[in-house]
Amino acid sequence: MAFDDLDQAEQAEDERSDTQDAAEERDASEPVDASVTEADLTADSDSHSENRRQDDAGPLGSSAGTGEDTTAHSEPAFGFEEAKQRPLYARQRAWDEFEDALAIDVEPTLRRHDVRDASKRELHDAALRVLADHAEEVANTVLEARGLGSDIDD
């Protein structure tokens, strides 16, 4: 599931392509209606996407049993286009521990706050920001792994 964001981006691109294809077919086979614009076609496509989200999660603005508005929680904190995929090199054991921490600790906490669809890019971005805030601990861990002690001389 490391490519879930890529799949979502490709699906969005396919939907845009389908909208363009439909517009081209309409242009080729029907008289032009000046009152229908590309924005109307895009809005129609967006409403279909919104309806699919409603079907998947029940009526918009409702939360199972709580009555709280969950629409603010249903989208990632940032879009796919803002993310840059980079290599991250780690031993399998460390990667497994990282994935377990996300699955066992992070995701249940998010679910308690009605965030059920956190994307990998969002989770990885948050993990890197936490790591940047605790850089000294990272340095200590590297020193310990090399047998050089864990206290950094300031």
Measured CA to CA, the distance from residue 78 to residue 9 in angstroms comes to 13
Q: What is the DSSP letter of 17?
A: H
pLDDT at 105: 95
Cα-based torsion angle of the residue sequence 98, 102, 103, 105 in order, rounded to the nearest 10 degrees: 110
pLDDT at 117: 87
pLDDT at 97: 96
What's the pLDDT tens digit per position in 42-76? 444 444 444 444 444 444 344 444 445 555 566 76
Give the highest mean pLDDT range of 9-23, 65-79, 102-116: 102-116
